[in-house]
Amino acid sequence: MLEEISTKVGLARAATEGTRRRPRWWLIAKTEKGRVEFLTTMAQNEDGGETFPVFGYEEEAEMFLHLGGYGDDGWSARESSIGEIVSVLCGPCSGVEGVSLDPLPGMVADGTLCLVWLGRERFLDQLLGYAE
């Protein structure tokens, strides 16, 4: 009896873990001459640093693209994994100061990007902790 209950609990736990949704992230990128380039923005505040926008939903990334005026330049929303984001932030975008989470297009121009900004290292720590 005890063994049967233990087995059922183990199966329920495995089923729950198997159906746990992975987080989905969206980046803005374009491909030119076979190379992928990721969009970064310059914060218009006292820091003025380069930031990497990351979105939780495709629709938010699309809205940023079109309302921010990036839609006509070949940029598009691209679904990404935690591994790709880490690779981008440690590779081609290693110079960014931070990450902006779900920014609105007007936030870049009006200097409020800091409201959704997280330092690059802190974001990577949080992202890698979430992946465990």
Residue 55 makes CB contacts below 8 A (sequence gap 6+) with 25, 26, 27, 28, 61, 64, 77, 101, 102
Structure tokens, 15: 């089923």
Cα–Cα distance measured from residue 93 to residue 114, given in angstroms and rounded to the nearest whole number: 19
Please check the confidence at residue 53 and state whether its pLDDT lies above 80: yes
What's the mean pLDDT in 100-108? 90
Each residue of 1-45: pLDDT tens digit? Answer: 445 444 444 444 444 445 455 678 999 999 989 999 999 998 755
- pLDDT > 90 in the chain, percent: 53
pTM to 2 decimal places = 0.77
